[in-house]
Amino acid sequence: MIRRIAVVDRWRLDPRAAWTRQPVQEWHHFIVFFAGGTLLVNLSREVRVDGEIFGRAIVLVHGHDDAWSQDLVSSPDPEFSPDGLYARIAGHQLDIDDEGWSLRTATRDRSVAATLRFTPEAPPLVARNREVGPDGNLHWVMYPAATVSGVVRAGGETYTLDRAAGYHDHNWGHFAWGDDFGWEWGIVSPSGEAATTVVCSALTNRTRSRTAIQQLFLWSGGAHVWTARGAEIVRQAGGRWSTLRVPRLPAVLSLATPCSASVPPRELEFTAVDGPRRVDVEVTLGARSQILIPDDHDPLAVVVLNECIGTARVRHTLHGHLQHDGESPCVFEVLEGTGRAR
């Protein structure tokens, strides 16, 4: 199934269903952990309730010097091939085939540019019809471990990548930004001889005061070996950021939204136990950026997407025997709808 990407992970290009007033949302999300920092690229397609189609490209790079380079651009005329294997959004290009994904991306000021090839190292996980909000749904395909080759130019330097650690997911469904949902999601990049990889995921309400679904996924040796759910997971959060001011996009919404609109925890701890297996994850986040999304229900409100960069220590034991204990880079994402423009 790893090599059936063109079938499993093509753009769905769903039209807006006649029986719902919900917009169609779809996006491909890519992450690369490389010598110069962490690169995040998100290409999305939205079909609004009036049938209008928009594309959006987001590029974020966090360097080891703690500097952010970022760009967000929307396009009223994105290009998609009928088979869902090609997309071009405001100059950003994605080609999908059975072996992987080819991505070309750059910020408008050319401070960041990348030509990359993603190749999966583990079969995908697929989830369908997750409920979001009162009458929305979300489907996803996740490739937790990918190798990345190519070139990244960022921070005035050029980096040649050869099997760098990468991640990809693809999400689509019917919902409106501002519906009563949020999420907390994170990827801990592979580490150790078994390339141990962890993804933490939770669907919540808009204010993140109630959790509907919580899961922790574990991969070892290129195989998905465990999914912990619900009561099997204990989550603790704490820590304070040294400042509330963070880089934000787009600038026009940044001016109208207080920096205190959404402040995620800086430290997270997850303990997952099921019989003989236990996984402990200690996350320390060191930097964050925010994407501000207009609320579809309230012209004076926004939905805040926090993209957080840090490190995580993962300890995995089975029948009391240590399977893995290591630290690696991570990306955590927190979405909540508490931000309100003034």
pLDDT digits (tens, 9 = 90+) for 187-219: 999 999 999 999 999 999 998 999 999 999 999
User: What's the residue count for the chain?
Assistant: 342
- Asked whether residue 171 falls in the same domain as residue 201, the answer is no
- Asked whether residue 126 falls in the same domain as residue 206, the answer is no
Mean of pLDDT values over 152-168: 96
Q: Alpha-carbon distance 145 to 223, whole Å?
A: 10
Note the pLDDT tens digit of each residue in 17-26. 656 678 999 9
Mean of pLDDT values over 76-88: 97
- Residue where a domain terminates, one of 143, 158, 175: 175
- Asked whether residue 195 falls in the same domain as residue 300, the answer is yes
Residue 116, domain CATH: 2.40.370.10
Mean of pLDDT values over 86-93: 97
- Asked whether residue 167 falls in the same domain as residue 193, the answer is no
3-state secondary structure of 254: helix
- Asked whether residue 234 falls in the same domain as residue 317, the answer is yes
Quote the number of domains for the chain: 2
Tokens 């939905």 correspond to: 303
Which residues constitute the domain of residue 281?
Answer: 177-342
Reply yes or no on whether the pLDDT at 339 is more than 80: no
Reply yes or no on whether the pLDDT at 300 is more than 90: no
Q: Alpha-carbon distance 245 to 148, whole Å?
A: 32
Q: Alpha-carbon distance 59 to 304, whole Å?
A: 16
Q: Alpha-carbon distance 105 to 98, whole Å?
A: 21
Mean of pLDDT values over 277-305: 94
Question: How does strand 321-336 pair with strand 182-191?
Answer: antiparallel
Mean of pLDDT values over 110-138: 92
Residue 150, beta-bridge partner list:
116, 161
**Percent of the residues in the chain that have a pLDDT greater than 70, as a whole number:** 96
- Asked whether residue 194 falls in the same domain as residue 236, the answer is yes
- Asked whether residue 9 falls in the same domain as residue 92, the answer is yes
Q: Is the pTM of this model over 0.85?
A: yes
pLDDT at residue 190, rounded to an integer: 95
